[in-house]
């Protein structure tokens, strides 16, 4: 039963993160284009301030939906396809 509780908590985190329209757009964008940095994502969204974008990316990363890779001063984001397949398969369609 402990595993079920952990899975429920994970699902709630993912759904809560995707419940915000901008975060859903970011996740959908990253399923189409892998390994985008914050500035690339921001330029595609246009109307989101840098600090707000950082907050959204942190929420998506904290719930496990996004993976990040550091390369020097840049951080590149991609969708954790395994987690997306389990909790939000519509993102991968």
**pLDDT value of residue 85:** 95
Helix orientation angle between 38-45 and 50-62, rounded to the nearest 10 degrees: 120
Fold classification of 6-91 is Arc Repressor Mutant, subunit A (1.10.10)
**pLDDT value of residue 1:** 46
Residues 6+ apart with CB under 8 A from 83: 10, 14, 64, 65
**pLDDT value of residue 34:** 86
35-71 in b/e form (b: 16+ CB < 10 A) is ebbbeebbeebeebeeeebeebbebbbebbbbbeeee
pTM of the model: 0.89
Low-confidence ranges of the chain (pLDDT < 70): 1-3
């Amino acid at each position: 039963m402990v595993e079920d509780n952990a899975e429920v908590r994970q699902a709630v985190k993912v759904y809560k993160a995707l419940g915000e329209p901008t975060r859903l757009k970011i996740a959908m964008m990253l399923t189409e284009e892998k390994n985008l940095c914050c500035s690339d994502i921001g330029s595609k969204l246009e109307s989101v301030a840098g600090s707000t974008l950082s907050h959204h990316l942190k929420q998506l990363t904290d719930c496990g939906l996004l993976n990040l890779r550091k390369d020097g001063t840049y951080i590149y984001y991609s969708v954790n396809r395994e987690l997306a397949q389990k909790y939000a398969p519509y993102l991968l369609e």
